[in-house]
């Protein structure tokens, strides 16, 4: 039986297909996390797409995984569940790959490529926190419904173009009702009702009384270069 004829796809169209596929598969992954309480990996469909993209051009694999991760983080934040890190997703892609069904690829090279090229998540801070973040005295931030996961991150500060490389060490989910000074790494004796009111007035005016917050522990790893126009 003759091999099927190859069909050329314009690169811009291919990128749009990758973007749509990443977002659709992120929806399925987020639904799984909500239903089971765990991330079971990106699945064979995502693994197949990433492997094929990597075989065509390594950069194409990055262009597929980035929108998948971004959409997955946003969906998980909206639904109140923890999102997986890039490392977990990349390892899951390798585990879900079926070499008997697809052309063989170097899975170690694929994972290494993704870890090196997928853009890190961005975490924004108010400008008043800049000095404390940079000197390490502020290494915890409490967020509500923001798409943050363990792994590499870029920190930014309102009103400036400075970008700081960091690593999110952990993301712990805590209900407002269970908040304690220790849970948010605040001084003993901190009035948690005032703490929550301050979060609401400064950042999250729509945050309900039964919200679940993310306690994000991070460390600065290096100063990232400023972006040029």
DSSP string, 65-89: HHHHHHHHHHHHHHHT-PPPPHHHH
Asked whether the CA dihedral 181, 182, 183, 187 is positive or negative, the reply is: positive
CATH 2.30.130.30 placement within the chain: 121-223
Render each residue's pLDDT in the chain as its tens digit; 229 residues: 565 666 666 777 777 777 787 788 889 899 999 899 888 888 888 888 888 888 888 888 888 888 889 889 999 988 888 889 888 888 888 777 766 555 567 888 888 999 899 988 999 999 999 999 999 999 999 999 998 999 999 999 998 889 999 999 999 999 999 999 998 889 999 999 999 999 999 999 999 999 999 999 999 997 655 544 4
Q: What is the pTM of this model?
A: 0.76
Answer whether 124's CB lies under 8 Å from 66's CB: no
Supply the angle between the helices 86-96 and 43-56 in degrees, to the nearest 10. Answer: 90
CA distance 74 to 80: 10
What is the bridge-based pairing of β-strands 163-175 and 121-125? unpaired
Q: Which two tokens stand for residue 199?
A: 């979060």
Q: What are the residue ranges of helices labelled H in 41-191?
A: 43-56, 58-79, 86-96, 107-117, 130-135
The fold for domain 121-223 equals 2.30.130
């Amino acid at each position: 039986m003759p091999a099927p004829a190859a069909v050329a796809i314009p690169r811009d169209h291919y990128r749009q297909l990758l973007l749509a596929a990443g977002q659709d598969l992120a929806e399925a992954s987020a639904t799984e996390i909500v239903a089971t309480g765990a991330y079971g990996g990106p699945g064979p469909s995502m693994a197949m797409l990433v492997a094929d993209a990597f075989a065509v051009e390594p950069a194409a694999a990055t262009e597929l995984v980035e929108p998948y991760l971004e959409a997955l983080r946003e969906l998980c934040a909206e639904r109140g569940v923890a999102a997986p890190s890039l490392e977990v997703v990349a390892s899951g892609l390798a585990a879900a790959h079926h070499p008997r069904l697809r052309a063989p690829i170097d899975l170690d090279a694929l994972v290494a490529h993704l870890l090196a090229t997928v853009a890190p998540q961005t975490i924004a801070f108010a400008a008043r926190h800049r000095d404390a973040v940079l000197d390490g005295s502020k290494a915890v931030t409490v967020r509500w419904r923001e798409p943050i996961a363990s792994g590499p991150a870029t920190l930014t500060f309102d009103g400036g173009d400075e970008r700081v490389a960091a690593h999110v060490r952990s993301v712990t989910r805590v209900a407002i009702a269970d908040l304690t000074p220790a849970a948010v790494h605040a001084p003993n004796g901190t009035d948690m009702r005032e703490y929550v009111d301050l979060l609401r007035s400064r950042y999250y005016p729509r945050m309900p009384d039964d919200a679940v917050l993310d306690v994000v522990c991070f460390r600065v790893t290096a100063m990232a270069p400023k972006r040029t126009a």
